[in-house]
Structure 1
Amino acid sequence: MLRILKWVAYGLAGLASVLVVAVGVAFAASEWTIRRPVPKPAVRLAAAADPGAVARGLRVATVAGCAQCHGANYQGRMFDDIPGVVKAYAPNLTRVVARDSDADLDRAIRHGVGSDGRALWIMPSATFAHLTDAETADLLAYLRTFPPAGPEQPRLGVGPLGRIAVVTGQFKSEAAVMAAHENPPLPDLGPQYAQGRSVARACVECHGPALRGGGPLHTPDLTIAAAYDLPDFARLMRTGVAAGDRHVGMMSDTAKVRFAVFSDAEVAALHGYLKARADLEVKGAATKPLPKS
């Protein structure tokens, strides 16, 4: 019996050693992936300087939701904490803007690469890649109105489960997402829906690159827009109140903060685009052959 217990103890000790080595390897591999430098895209953008640039930049920042992560004063904050996975801090943009060039800021916003050459994580650059040069130049003009203030924020903290996700490719940097072309353009439904398609880019961050929903936020497929008439849809986009006077979680909060700045024409164009997309989805489903029994 003692001999058996001895071998069991040896086995458990060996297993513990293997686990320690595995954890060490996962940490080292994930840390290398997180910290390794990536190529810096060549950009030549400069902040806009005309009289209306700051006001237009505020609108871009509002729709993009910059303050939701970086805080109303843009001094950064911890905006997400998933135990064992990630502790996410948005940097103090007032310090970043004072330190970095316009080109550095453009690379961070639209390409997911920081001024130190490292890929950015969680910063939704893949979503912001659609911003035009003019929109980005206006955004930079607005951000540069904030004088440097407040402390620097900590870097991204990645827990054991998060590191496993990094090593297995389930958690990627924004630069890696874009390099893998995981955020393709929204479907082009024709010139009559061009404005709506442009406005719908604001929906990609939560509802996904194809607007099919799902993901960690469990958002709905935006074919649901077909169930809304224009007045109800406009109320949702402006006030966050859904049909039936419902509060619909994050969308209700986001709409009031970000989408209330849309004009009547933009809301109508978005509604038209989403309904046309839903109609195509329904037609596509109807033409699929039934599975054989």
Structure 2
Amino acid sequence: MRVLKVAGYALAGVAVLVLFAAAGAFAASEAMIRWPVTGADKTVRLVSAKAGSAERGARLARLNGCHDCHGDRLEGRLFHDEMPVLRAWGPNLTRVAARDSDAELDAAIRRGVGGDGRRLWVMPSNAFAQLNDQETADLIAYIRSFPVTGEDQPHLQVGHLGRLGVLLGKFSSEPAMLKAGPPILADYGPQHAQGRDVARLCVECHGPDLKGMPLLKSPDLTMAASYEAADFQRLLHDGVAAGDRKLEGLMGSIARTRFSVLTDAEIAALYGYLKARAEREIAAAQ
């Protein structure tokens, strides 16, 4: 009986330790997720919107997938539901724009910092950091063109597996990723300047170095070297890969909903840039 009693106390002690450890881990991950960062400098004046800004912003919004997460009318929506990892809503941008300044919207777009100082997660600021001032002004003008509608969406919910990823550094906020170094695409000369500009659209899924992202199972874009120009254009416009394979995953969806607005000249420029990159990558490997 005494042995069983001691064993019971030991198990109770272990349970208490596990409970405290779990509570500590939750508190630590909650601080990492919710802890505010330096917000926008409200005295900063952005480039003024020009004639046609909202129209240009509409194209940028489509190419960068803003409506995928924020809804057709930018009223926000649940766009990722994968508990126990995370549940994420795109905020209602019509309400955000009604209360935030241009500087605060810019901070959210290019720095991953909300108007209230919250660090943003699952917001592709790591890719949007490459937007220039005029493009950002155009995008903000487009957001402000929508009337206020709907309700505010819930904040990000992170499950226990997601919190473990936060603690292990496998899941990072946008400010943390940008602090590690904003993506800077390689420059292969003035002849590839337009292609390099278009390649910014690839960063969100293929990473800042275009080498692919394991989490999304996206490939290294060195693979562009295996495509003929006409096939590459078909891939980006129609989501049809080599061998007449109609892609149904992320790339297929993005090609048909976002990249279909790219002009033939833009796709040709991107192809030239990725070919130049592939040639250098292959030469370096050899």
CA–CA distance in structure 2, aligned partners of residues 251 and 169 of structure 1: 27
Give the aligned partner of residue 131 of structure 1: 131
Residue 33 of structure 1: how far off its partner (Å): 1.7
Deviations 1:3-49 (A, max 9, x none): 3333332222122111110111111111122222211243421551x
CA–CA distance in structure 1, aligned partners of residues 57 and 261 of structure 2: 12
Give the aligned partner of residue 231 of structure 1: 230
Q: State the secondary structure of the residue aligned to 1:55.
A: helix
TM-score, length-normalised on structure 2?
A: 0.95
RMSD: 1.4
CA contact (8 A) 1:98 1:147 kept: no
CA contact (8 A) 1:111 1:174 kept: yes
Give the aligned partner of residue 200 of structure 1: 199
* Deviates further, 129-138 or 206-215: 206-215
CA contact (8 A) 1:195 1:266 kept: yes
CA contact (8 A) 1:83 1:159 kept: yes
CA contact (8 A) 1:162 1:171 kept: yes
CA–CA distance in structure 2, aligned partners of residues 54 and 230 of structure 1: 32
Residue identity matched to 2:34: R
User: Percent identity among equivalent residues?
Assistant: 56
- TM alignment of 1:1-293, pairs within 5 A: 2-42=1-41, 43-45=44-46, 48=49, 50-181=50-181, 183-248=182-247, 249-286=249-286
Residue 172 of structure 1: how far off its partner (Å): 1.4
CA contact (8 A) 1:196 1:270 kept: yes
Residue 83 of structure 1: how far off its partner (Å): 1.6
Deviations 1:78-129 (A, max 9, x none): 1111221111111111111111111110010001111101111111111100
CA contact (8 A) 1:235 1:241 kept: yes
Relative to structure 1, the CA distance from residue 186 to residue 46 in structure 2 (aligned partners, 3 Å threshold; closer, same or farther) is: closer
- Runs of 4+ with >3 A deviation: none
Residue 277 of structure 1: how far off its partner (Å): 0.8
Give the aligned partner of residue 290 of structure 1: none
CA contact (8 A) 1:78 1:88 kept: yes
Deviations 1:191-234 (A, max 9, x none): 21111111001000001111111331111111111111111111
Unaligned runs of 5+ in 1: 287-293
CA contact (8 A) 2:232 2:271 kept: yes
Total equivalences in the alignment: 283
TM-score, length-normalised on structure 1?
A: 0.93
CA contact (8 A) 2:40 2:115 kept: no
CA–CA distance in structure 1, aligned partners of residues 183 and 143 of structure 2: 28
Unaligned runs of 5+ in 2: none
CA–CA distance in structure 1, aligned partners of residues 275 and 75 of structure 2: 39
